[in-house]
Chains A and B, each alone.
Chain A
Amino acid sequence: MDLSAINPILLLASLMVAATPIMLAAIGELVVERAGVLNLGVEGMMITGAACGMIFAYNTGNAWLGFAGAAAGGMALSFLFAILTQYFLSNQVATGLALTLFGLGLSALLGQNYAEARPPAFPKMDIPILSDIPVLGPIAFNHDPMVYVGLILVAGVWAFLKFSRAGLVLRAVGENHEAAHALGYHVIRIRILAILFGGACAGLGGAYISLVRVPQWTEGMTAGAGWIALAIVVFAGWKPVRLLLGAYLFGGVTVLQLNLQAAGLAIPVEYLSMSPYIATILVLVILSAGRAPGSLGKTFHASR
């Protein structure tokens, strides 16, 4: 075993990359859940985003259009969920699970001809001056743009929920939909918008895996990242800042265990592979004191 082969700077830099897909999917789901909707279809929307991202990026030769297509794909799938749960009042848990299964199948169908495809390159941003800072530069300021898009989204959601009127209304709808309705807010409309945002974010997260992280298309390549994103939302107590911590922790342990595997640590590989999941859940459980939105997962109908 040779631990000196692990370069801490590289490790921390790849942590930010490893955390991004989960962070993107989780921040979208956080908004959905704060609006009082439980969408368990994150995994399905992510994998659909991964497939759509590859299709668009490969055919247009532009990674940015790939991400846009992935967001649209995730959003389309979430729209299905929105219609079923908000207009036809179907059960959110069952519909979300169905959405995951549907997304897995749909993406396999869509991605059939893209197994050999290579996506166009998505260059790293060399942020001038900042990336020249020793140690910190290569860790934090020498990544592809989606890493920063993810961070900006988290900060944006945090500010939106905390400071904006629309964010307050969204929280109110999630907290007590009866009261929000009585005050004249459009519960269904707000929830549909939140669901669509969640779908777009999950799509982006999926595309990040297929376009940047791996980068190629394989069936089922999200490998449970959507479920981890869901778990992080809950364990982060529905708070954006903790969500960021959770995603980085998960990304960090993932990268670390890969490095340890490569360094030949004398622990069975299976234990190392499960370590990110266990570590994330443990830490967030210890931190947790969050309270779920009052109307989370409940079906709203104006007549009741």
Chain B
Amino acid sequence: MTDTLLELSGLTKAYPGVVANSDVSFSIKKGEVHALLGENGAGKSTLVKTIYGLVKPDTGTMTLEGASFQPSEPRAARASGIAMVFQHFSLFDALNVAENIALGMENPPKMGDLARRIREVSETYGLPLDPDRVVGDLSAGERQRVEIIRCLLQDPKLLIMDEPTSVLTPQEVEILFETLRKLRAEGTSILYISHKLEEIRALCEHATILRLGKVVGTCDPRETSARDMAEMMVGATLHVPEKADKAQEGDVVLAISGLSAPAPHQFGTALKDISVEVRAGEVLGIGGVAGNGQDELVAALSGEMKTKPGMISFKGNSVGHLPPNARRKAGIAAAPEERNGHAAAPDMSLVENAVLTGAVRMELTDDRGFVRWAKAKDFAEQVIETFDVRTPGSHVAARALSGGNLQKFVIGREIMQRPEVLIINQPTWGVDAAAAASIRQAILDEAAEGAAVIVISQDLDELMEISDRFAALNEGRLSAPRPAKGLTIKEIGLMLGGAHDMEVAHVDA
């Protein structure tokens, strides 16, 4: 079990203006779980795309089991035994499970046989899946199972997993790991990409760390602390957000009682009887796997979705019928999840984006409806300065910013308006560790200044770090909030609805 499966040497890939990979060399042994670590933009995606045949390297070679390996396209890579589970699932919503799986296979059997094999493999690995269901109706965890089973049906030698756990509950993660350990025992190598260092410590034997396209170190994650690995990734000491000491609990600012709303679109989730109160100065963390009503809850609170009277009240007044700008005026600000396209208009400049939500509270328009551009520019630049947004200037289009920087901008834009209620969905999704730390700090500071903050996130570590109380959203229902202090991961997992009918793999290793 010590021979090398895949060896990369001197891989370099440059795009106009940026070197994504520079002289990257490492090797993956047979039956090894190898972690690939790095911040966003460190070149992990480019590297795995090279292995999968989606990107051609400028220079450098790869050897697979001693033979030269230069896949010209993903089919060639798959034929050589490379399989990949994508971070943003490469699934087709309108097609059913079997069709989705057939699309990822070179020579799929007849649909009937395929359905039978899907059932077999899914039961062997404890990932139950009905081949006839339409993928658009599946939960995120189930969608991932589709991807994994698609890979497993091809008996891969190397399984590449790009951020596989970001959408799973802790119990689902445990089951996934069990499956991966079985695979390892069967001799399959796994290249595992994740931000979550504790997971890597639990699963991987070897880690390669990338920074700015270069290999900056390797380690054995079982013997290296998460903090050390994080600092290798960032290349600097990491700042941990601090909670300020709380004064007395404030008054109830936002009260949600019996909030129910139908699903806004075909693949949406209905909200069912949600009741919770948020007090001034506290952070309420709402956990849950994506697609359980997070977007709908944010829409109901921000005013994108109207609700019946009495369901949402702000300082005792019902606000469910108010549109977003009226709520902003009253003091409710929201930062939705999708930065490009929802929280910000990608092709508009930062100044224009600042006007889009800041117009009312910051008085960026005059009485006749004209925009006060000078004032708007000042506001945008204040946000950029206060939140350390790295950009050449406020005139730059939102899409030109990296994910972390744009996220700092959209969250900063809401915080700078000094709302009394702030709702943030996925504050640090796809944001690197340093930027994530500063965003979390800003959220804590905002609460310390007396705002009521609701943070919705899939990252449980994050929620534990910043929330005062924690509640779980599952299939549109919200659990009763509990003080975050002292909650264990197991208790949280149960609050999240457990493992969604998954069972532990029962392959004999």
Residues in A lying within 8 Å of B, measured CB to CB? 165, 168-169, 171-172, 175-176, 178-180, 182-185, 291, 293-294
Contacts and interface: CB of A to CB of B under 8 A. Distances in A.
A291 B266 CA distance: 10
Interface string B491-507: 00000000000000000
Contacts of B73: 184
B138 interface: no
A175 B75 CA distance: 20
Contact of B91 (A169, A179, A293): A179
25 contacts: A165-B102, A168-B103, A169-B103, A172-B99, A172-B103, A175-B92, A175-B94, A176-B91, A179-B90, A180-B92, A180-B103, A182-B86, A183-B74, A183-B103, A184-B53, A184-B54, A184-B74, A184-B75, A184-B78, A291-B94, A291-B266, A293-B94, A294-B92, A294-B93, A294-B94
Identify the interface centre among A171, A180, A183, A294: most chain B CB within 10 Å of its CB. Answer: A183
Contacts of B66: none
B108 interface: yes
A168 B90 CA distance: 15
Nearest to B99: A168
Nearest to B92: A175
A185 B54 CA distance: 11
Q: Is the interface of A mostly helix, strand, loop or mixed?
A: helix
A172 B92 contact: yes
Given A171-B92, A175-B92, A184-B78, 17 more contacts: A168-B103, A171-B95, A172-B99, A175-B95, A176-B92, A179-B89, A179-B92, A180-B92, A180-B103, A183-B90, A184-B53, A184-B73, A184-B74, A185-B103, A293-B94, A294-B92, A294-B93
B57 interface: no
Contacts of B74: 182-184
B72 to A, nearest CB: 10
A97 B352 CA distance: 32
Given A182-B74, A184-B74, A168 B102 contact: yes
B93 A176 contact: yes
Given A179-B90, A182-B86, A184-B78, A172 B95 contact: yes
Contacts of B75: 184
Interface of B: 53-54, 73-75, 78, 86, 89-95, 99, 102-104, 108, 266
Nearest to A293: B94
Contacts of A168: 95, 99, 102-103
A86 to B, nearest CB: 19
A168 B133 CA distance: 16
Contacts of B90: 176, 178-179, 182-183
Nearest to B73: A184
Q: What 8 pairs across the A-B complex have the smallest Cβ distances?
A: A184-B74, A179-B90, A175-B92, A182-B90, A184-B75, A184-B73, A176-B92, A175-B94
Nearest to A303: B15
Nearest to A238: B94
A182 B78 CA distance: 12
A257 B227 CA distance: 80
A168 B101 CA distance: 11
Contacts of A179: 89-92
A165 B92 contact: no
Contacts of A183: 74, 90, 103-104
Identify the interface centre among A165, A180, A182, A184: most chain B CB within 10 Å of its CB. Answer: A184
Identify the interface centre among B74, B89, B90, B104: most chain A CB within 10 Å of its CB. Answer: B90
A175 B266 CA distance: 16
A169 B93 CA distance: 14
Nearest to A182: B90
A66 B314 CA distance: 73
Contacts of B92: 171-172, 175-176, 179-180, 294
Nearest to B102: A168
Contacts of B108: 165
A168 B99 CA distance: 7
Contact of A175 (B53, B78, B93, B104): B93
Contacts of A182: 54, 74, 86, 90
Contacts of A184: 53-54, 73-75, 78
Nearest to B15: A303
A96 B75 CA distance: 34
Identify the interface centre among B78, B92, B99: most chain A CB within 10 Å of its CB. Answer: B92
Contacts of A178: 90
Nearest to B54: A182
Contacts of B53: 184
Nearest to B104: A183
A34 to B, nearest CB: 10
A182 B100 CA distance: 13
A176 B53 CA distance: 20
Contacts of A175: 92-95
B394 to A, nearest CB: 25
B14 to A, nearest CB: 14
